[in-house]
Structure formats: structure tokens, C-alpha cells
Homo-oligomer: A and B are copies of this chain.
């Protein structure tokens, strides 16, 4: 029982957890399955885009010099010599005042250098007239105007979004190197826990932290691995964790980190030879969060109280796991918002309040999501963000400017603006 833990500031705790972990190795995945993974190689252009001069419009490809002098009073007439649908090409050499009928996306034949949109032409029978001179290159997407071969489109470390997948397809990357996703073991401890299908009896509660963490991992595109609940018995737990260590890249435990007689985790970490990074943080809820390293494996010792567990995961486990995934934006965006309800309780430490964010035309409004004690679970269900209230001697009231942490993002920020 250790009553003398010294709390460290939240950001220092985050930094300690993030500093110790390193990206995992990479693996190849098919481009169509790459969404949500992190690039482990620079995505380079394998060719120019467009890779040929391409009509940007439906219309007629002409020699621009033939249009010189055209005006409303003195229209110039062209004869359609050939058609070029998208996907086709033509080797035909235009003669004076001849044109190709051409579709958007089709290659502009070498003998043409401008495209007249249908809307700019007055149609005749196999002919059309124009009322203005066209510049060379007009309505043409010039080869390489978007990018050149070898150019880095997005660097290693970038989250693969739908546009990245489209870019991989464009450049013919059938497979792409991405960072391996961490295998995360979850162990919910506490003899009060029962599974969902067991009968509830006095003193027992259903294991809600385990499925919650599985979902927090799923939101990050990681599959968690739930380990069986164990009694709060030291030798059994030690054995379990040693077995887990062979199978996982990170371990998340819930419960067993406070000062109770039955809280074995600190002893367990010691027995395993883990290096404790911190065991108390100046925050509410979740002050007793512990993070340790066992070699390269981080051990996140989260509180057994649901709100504390949730918050500890988002603050410490999430950025550390994203760093292991090679992500270059590991932090939840923290933005300026307006407090949309009172929170009068003063607290010496930074307080993280589960919040309903309402994106209004006038700004980002955040309302405390109901009952907000450390052991609350229902407020997490009502929240899509977290209000960050700095510690101090006063409470906060509706309308106060506050920082809001956006927890529901697929990508994030490079720095933590707490």
C-alpha cells in the first residue's frame, strides 16, 4: 500500500508515455485494405499526373492558331475530322481549321493544342464556329501539371485516408508498406467483476471496461485481445501477464492500481521488472493511472472506474499506441470552445469532463454529459468529446471559454494543445 505517490502534470505524463514507445515493423497490405493504416513508406508518384495531355472538357480539340481573329462578328468555322472518346487516342494530323470531337479525359492528339467546350461552339452540320481566339493549352490538363514522377505525394507516417487509397490506385501500388498494428492485450482485474451473462449479485458489477477499451481500440482501427477475468490473486495474475507478454505489443489493465489491499498491479509490475514511468497524475478522474515499460512493451495501468479508465486511455494509451503505429499525428485535436453548462466544482487538478460537443454556426459548444464522477459510465455514452478544465480555486460557468478535446477523430494533431 503506497499512500505517498507524487502526482506529475498531465502533459509530462503524456510525454513520458509517448517517449518510451517506438514504431513497430512494417508489412505489405493490398491497397484496397489500406484505409486507416499508416504509411511506412513515402508514397511517391510513379508517373506524371496526368500522364498525357488530357481534355478537361467535352468539346472540340483544335489548333489554337486557327482560332486567331475570331470574334462575335467574325466567327471562324471548323470541320470535325475525327472523334476521340475517353479511353481512345488518335494519330490523325489536323489540317487547317479541322478539329477533333473530344470527350473529357480523352488524350488531346499531338496535332491539337486547345479545346473548345461544347458550350463555346455554335454547331453546324459536321462543323462548328467559335467567337473567340483560344490560347494554347486552353481547357487542357497538361501532362504532369498535378505531379511529376518521383515526387513524394505524402510522406511515411501519414494516415491512409480515402484520397491516399485513390492515389495508390492511380500509381499502381497493388500493395503498400504500412506499419504493423499493435496487438493490444486487455486484462480487466477485480473480484467484483462478472461477465455479461452471469447473474448480478450484491457487490458484483458487469465488466464494462473491457468492452469499452475494445471499442476505443476499434475507433483507432486496432483489434484488441481480451484476456479472461482473473481473481485478484497475485500468482495467477503474474502468470497470466507473463503469458500475455509473448503475444502482445502492449497491455492495458483496468483496476488494481489504487491503494487498496487487493490492488496487486504495482507489485506485479515490480515482479516483472517493469520500469515505472509514473504512478500518479495531477488530474481528475484517473489520477492513479500508472504507465510502465517492460522492455518495448508499454503497460497501461488504468483505473477500474469507467470514466477514469476511459480518460486514461484517451490521454495516455491512444497517443502511445498511435506512435507505435507510426502515425505522425498522434494527439486528439484540442480546440477552443464555449462551456454550455455550469461546472461549479473547483478542483486543484486539471479536470476532464465527458462532454456533448455541439458544432453550431457560432462556435463549438460543449456541455458536460451528465453525472460526471470517476465511476460514471453513462456520461461516456452521451459524450463525443472531453472538456478540459484547468485546476484552480474556482468553478466554471455556462459561457466560459474552454478547451475541448475531440475524441471522435480518425486523424489527429501533431501537438497536444492542452
Cβ-based interface call for A26 (8 A): no
Q: How far apart are A165's CB and chain B's nearest CB, in angstroms?
A: 4
A410 with B413: CB separation less than 8 A: no
A359 lies within 8 A of B377 (CB): no
User: Which residues of B sit under 8 angstroms from A158, Cβ to Cβ?
Assistant: 381
Cβ-based interface call for A150 (8 A): no
From A1, A154, A164, name the one whose CB has the most chain B CB atoms within 10 angstroms: A164
Partner of A205, one of B170, B258, B263: B170
Known contacts A262-B85, A262-B86, A380-B162; A174/B203 CB under 8 A:
no
Bound form: Cα–Cα A361–B413 in Å:
11
Q: With A169-B207, A170-B205, A417-B360 in contact, do A213 and B380 touch (Cβ < 8 Å)?
A: no
- CB-CB < 8 A to A168: which residues of B? 211
A86 closest partner in B (C-beta):
B192
Bound-state Cα–Cα, A86 to B379, Å? 23
Pairwise interchain contact B86-A32, C-beta atoms closer than 8 A: no
Contact B213 A162 (CB under 8 A): yes
Beyond A205-B105, A304-B105, is A218–B35 a contact (Cβ under 8 Å)?
A: yes
Question: What is the CB-to-nearest-CB distance from A207 to chain B, in angstroms, rounded to a whole number?
Answer: 7
List residues of chain B with CB within 8 A of the CB of A383.
161, 163
Report how far A168 CA is from B380 CA in the complex, Å: 12
Closest-CB distance, A212 to chain B (whole angstroms): 4
Closest to A43 in B: B381
- A190 contacts across to B, CB distance below 8 A: 86-87, 105
Number of copies: 2
Residue among A105, A106, A216, A408 facing the most chain B CB atoms (10 A cut-off): A105
Judge if A245 is at the interface, Cβ distance under 8 Å: no
A107 within 8 A of B: yes
For window 83-136 of chain A, which residues contact chain B by CB distance below 8 Å? 85-89, 101, 103-107, 118-119
**A385 vs B31: C-alpha distance when bound (angstroms):** 22
A209 touches B413 (CB 8 A): no
Stretch of A14-22, A141-149, A270-278 at the chain-chain interface: A141-149
- Could you name 26 residue pairs across A and B whose Cβ atoms are closer than 8 Å? A32-B214, A35-B215, A36-B218, A43-B381, A49-B378, A50-B205, A87-B191, A87-B204, A105-B205, A107-B202, A146-B378, A147-B378, A154-B382, A158-B381, A163-B381, A165-B208, A165-B212, A165-B215, A166-B306, A168-B211, A333-B359, A334-B359, A335-B363, A359-B413, A359-B417, A409-B409
Which residue on B lies nearest to A210, using beta carbons? B169
With both beta carbons as reference points, the residue of chain B lying nearest to A204 in the complex is identified as B87
Q: How far is the CA of A163 from the CA of B378 in the complex (A)?
A: 7
Q: How far is the CB of A38 from chain B (nearest CB, A)?
A: 13
Residues of B contacting A377 with CB < 8 Å?
Answer: 49, 146, 163, 166-167, 170
Known pairs A51-B200, A107-B203, A166-B208; A258 contacts B381 (CB<8 A): no
- Asked if residues A169 and B211 are in contact (CB atoms below 8 Å), the reply is yes
A213 to chain B, nearest CB (A): 7
- Please give me the residue from chain B that is nearest to A197 by CB atom: B174
Cα–Cα distance between A107 and B193 once the two chains are bound (Å): 13
When the two chains form their complex, are residues A408 and B261 in contact, meaning their CB atoms are under 8 A apart? no
Whether A208 contacts B169 by the Cβ 8 Å rule is yes
Bound complex: CA A192 to CA B170 (Å): 13
Q: Which of A352-375 contact B (CB under 8 A)?
A: 354, 358-361, 363-364, 371, 373-375
Question: A203–B52 contact, CB under 8 A?
Answer: yes
Inter-chain contacts of A1 with B (CB < 8 A): 118
